[in-house]
């Protein structure tokens, strides 16, 4: 009998490592009669010193299937992780992206043999430009933060060429995502944090205090991370431009405005999109993303290369752009994501995209009003795609924190909302239901949250102990993030009670 996970599991929450499951002679023998590898590969390329485990195919399938069931994803349940837009990704878009005509294209395929794929990139670029009011996009960056860095590199080059190297300050509102100041600092700018007003927004008056000859860029998210539309945006953009600076739009929340408002019309010079949020691409776990970077006409020549251009009825990748900041990713970046995003855009069409935004806003407001019945919502006005609630009162009265509520939600079968962000809301819970969830799901979630809030008064200890139904209970959050122990070393056989070392 092969070792079962429960038998072999060490301190890994009940699942043995694939290495620990291996036993000599267990591997599949389907290919036993096939020609040996030496027939195909020169001896110099063959290794026999890798400590690979000898597992049967069945053990491998069971092992990875069990692992897949020990995590949580949007396919399993509601995932209201504010700012992350964890929504349903229609499978048909994966089918489009994984067509062999796209998936099997070699990155060195000459342009003339890759016309269909180049057309996908071209049409996506044109669609994004028109939907968001920019002159052009580069599809090169592979995440929002990556595009932020690209945009700031563009700004740096732009000012350098104008002899304005004294422009070394980037203004970032205090509601901004952490990647904004991080990207600015990485790019060598000094970060000026701008306080929001009592309405949770940036005011022209406040920004006026920090604008000057040293202003390079003002980075704004609209709607912001409180889910509120920055209604003074036109005046703010005018003031920044008047001071000689550039406006950057963090498009992570673009699912709230599609078809209704365009960053280009609001006065932004640069922007990014997180196609892995706003459109269709599954994200999470730091996996591959896609962060198209858009610019207004005066910055087009700085875009990262390559840029797809159309010449008559054919398409080509343009690398010959002397002012470009250069490539940010190899080859075509995450091309499959571009194909998914275009499929999503075409499937929805203009009206469908407007409906996406309508439903994102409707769902957020529906849930906000329900949650406001039992939790404080510090900005009690119509929100856009997300809203924030605060557990500060529960903390004061019962010692129950946002963290405890988040953990208790896991026991109810939900992913927790984003917590402690934005930083300006004490004991913050940031909830984004997205447009793909039904009223029944939102009702059930609100009910679960209410039950937890009521329990904070009657039985706070139960919340401190949560989660109790997940594979791993409470961990030391800091150590888990900063000092994860992800290493495995082959056993030497010398350890007390150790399993035999895997077969070499």
Ligand X SMILES: Cc1ncc(COP(=O)(O)O)c(C=O)c1O
In terms of CB distance, is 23 or 275 closer to ligand X?
275
- Listed residue (408, 411, 402) closest to 459, CA to CA: 408
Q: Which residue is nearest to ligand X (CB)?
A: 144
- Listed residue (337, 364, 309, 360) closest to 115, CA to CA: 309
Which range binds ligand X by CB under 6 A, 142-150, 212-220, 295-303, 354-362? 142-150
In terms of CB distance, is 23 or 221 closer to ligand X?
221
When binding is defined by CB under 6 A, the residue of 16, 136, 145, 256 that contacts ligand X is: 145
When binding is defined by CB under 6 A, the residue of 15, 16, 27, 84 that contacts ligand X is: 84
Number of residues lying near ligand X (CB under 6 A): 14
- Listed residue (410, 416, 418) closest to 467, CA to CA: 410
Q: By CB under 6 A, what part of segment 173-232 binds ligand X?
A: 177, 179, 221, 225
In terms of CB distance, is 219 or 307 closer to ligand X?
219
Q: How far is the CB of 83 from ligand X (least distance, A)?
A: 4
For residues 432 and 385, the answer to whether their CB atoms sit within 8 Å is yes
Which range binds ligand X by CB under 6 A, 62-70, 141-149, 263-271, 355-363? 141-149
Q: Is 281 an interacting residue with respect to ligand X (CB under 6 A)?
A: no
Q: Is 289 an interacting residue with respect to ligand X (CB under 6 A)?
A: yes
Q: How far is the CB of 90 from ligand X (least distance, A)?
A: 20
- Listed residue (393, 384, 391, 385) closest to 407, CA to CA: 391
The three-state secondary structure class of 74 is coil
Q: Is 274 an interacting residue with respect to ligand X (CB under 6 A)?
A: yes
* DSSP characters over 395-462: HHHH---HHHHHHHHHHTT-PPPEES-STTSTTEEEE---TT--HHHHHHHHHHHHHHHHHHHH-HHH
Q: How far is the CB of 252 from ligand X (least distance, A)?
A: 3
Which range binds ligand X by CB under 6 A, 35-43, 104-112, 138-146, 352-360? 138-146
Q: Is 53 an interacting residue with respect to ligand X (CB under 6 A)?
A: no
Residue 280 main-chain phi, psi, to 5 deg: -130, 5
Burial 441-466 (b: 16+ CB within 10 A, else e): bbeebbebbeebbebbeeebeebeeb
Q: From residue 139, how far is each of 144, 162, 285, 390 by CA, in Å?
A: 11, 26, 22, 38
When binding is defined by CB under 6 A, the residue of 80, 291, 292, 304 that contacts ligand X is: 291
In terms of CB distance, is 83 or 203 closer to ligand X?
83
Q: By CB under 6 A, what part of segment 357-416 binds ligand X?
A: none
Separation CA 139–CA 124 (nearest Å): 9
Q: Is 422 an interacting residue with respect to ligand X (CB under 6 A)?
A: no
Separation CA 244–CA 137 (nearest Å): 23
In the DSSP assignment, the letter for residue 4 is P
In terms of CB distance, is 183 or 203 closer to ligand X?
183
Which range binds ligand X by CB under 6 A, 39-47, 139-147, 201-209, 433-441? 139-147
In terms of CB distance, is 83 or 89 closer to ligand X?
83
For residues 390 and 426, the answer to whether their CB atoms sit within 8 Å is yes
Q: How far is the CB of 399 from ligand X (least distance, A)?
A: 30
In terms of CB distance, is 84 or 425 closer to ligand X?
84
Q: How far is the CB of 191 from ligand X (least distance, A)?
A: 15
Query: Which residues sit opposite 170 in a β-bridge?
Result: 191, 217
Contacts of 27 (CB under 8 A, 6+ apart): 54, 55, 56
Chain positions contacting ligand X, by CB under 6 A: 83-84, 143-145, 177, 179, 221, 225, 250, 252, 274, 289, 291
């Amino acid at each position: 009998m092969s070792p079962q996970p429960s038998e072999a599991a060490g301190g890994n929450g009940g699942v043995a490592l694939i290495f620990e499951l291996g036993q000599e002679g267990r591997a599949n023998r389907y290919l036993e009669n096939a020609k040996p590898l030496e027939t195909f590969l020169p001896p110099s390329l063959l290794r026999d010193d890798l400590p690979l485990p000898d597992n049967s195919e069945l053990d491998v399938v069971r092992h990875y299937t069990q692992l897949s069931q020990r995590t949580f994803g949007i396919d399993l349940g509601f995932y209201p992780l504010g700012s992350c837009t964890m929504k349903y990704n229609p499978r048909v878009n994966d089918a489009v992206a994984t067509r062999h005509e796209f998936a099997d294209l070699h990155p060195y395929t000459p342009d003339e043999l890759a016309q269909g794929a180049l057309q996908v990139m071209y049409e996506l670029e044109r669609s994004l430009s028109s939907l968001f009011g920019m002159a052009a996009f580069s599809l090169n960056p592979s995440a929002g933060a990556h595009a932020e860095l690209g945009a700031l590199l563009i700004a740096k080059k732009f000012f350098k060429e104008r002899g304005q190297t004294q422009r070394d300050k980037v203004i970032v509102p205090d509601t901004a995502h952490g990647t904004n100041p991080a990207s600015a600092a990485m790019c060598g700018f000094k970060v000026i944090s701008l306080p929001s007003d009592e309405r949770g927004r940036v005011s022209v008056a406040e920004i006026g205090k920090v604008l000057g000859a040293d202003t390079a860029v003002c980075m704004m998210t609209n709607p912001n991370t409180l889910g509120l539309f920055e209604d003074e945006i036109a005046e703010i953009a005018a003031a920044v431009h008047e001071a000689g600076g550039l406006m950057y739009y963090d498009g992570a929340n673009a699912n709230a405005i599609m078809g209704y408002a365009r960053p280009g019309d609001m006065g932004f010079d640069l922007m990014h999109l997180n196609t892995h949020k706003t459109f269709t691409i599954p994200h999470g776990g730091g996996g591959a993303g896609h962060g198209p970077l858009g610019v207004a006409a005066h910055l087009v020549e700085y875009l990262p290369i390559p840029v797809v251009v159309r010449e008559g009825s054919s398409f080509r990748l343009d690398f010959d752009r002397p002012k470009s900041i250069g490539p940010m990713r190899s080859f075509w970046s995450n091309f499959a994501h571009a194909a998914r995003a275009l499929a999503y855009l075409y499937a929805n069409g203009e009206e469908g995209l407007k409906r996406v935004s309508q439903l994102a806003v409707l769902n957020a407001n529906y849930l906000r009003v329900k949650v406001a019945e039992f939790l404080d919502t510090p900005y009690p006005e119509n929100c856009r795609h997300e809203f924030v609630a605060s557990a500060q009162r529960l903390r004061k009265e019962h010692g129950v924190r946002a963290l405890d509520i988040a953990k208790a939600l896991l026991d109810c079968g939900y992913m927790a909302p984003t917590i402690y962000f934005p930083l300006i809301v004490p004991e913050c819970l940031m909830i984004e239901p997205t447009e793909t969830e039904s009223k029944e799901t939102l009702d059930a979630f609100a009910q679960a949250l209410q039950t937890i809030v009521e329990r904070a008064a009657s039985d706070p200890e139960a919340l401190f102990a949560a989660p109790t139904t997940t594979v791993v209970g409470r961990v030391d959050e800091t150590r888990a993030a900063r000092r994860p122990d992800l290493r495995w070393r082959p056993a030497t056989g010398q350890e007390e009670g150790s399993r035999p070392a895997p077969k070499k």
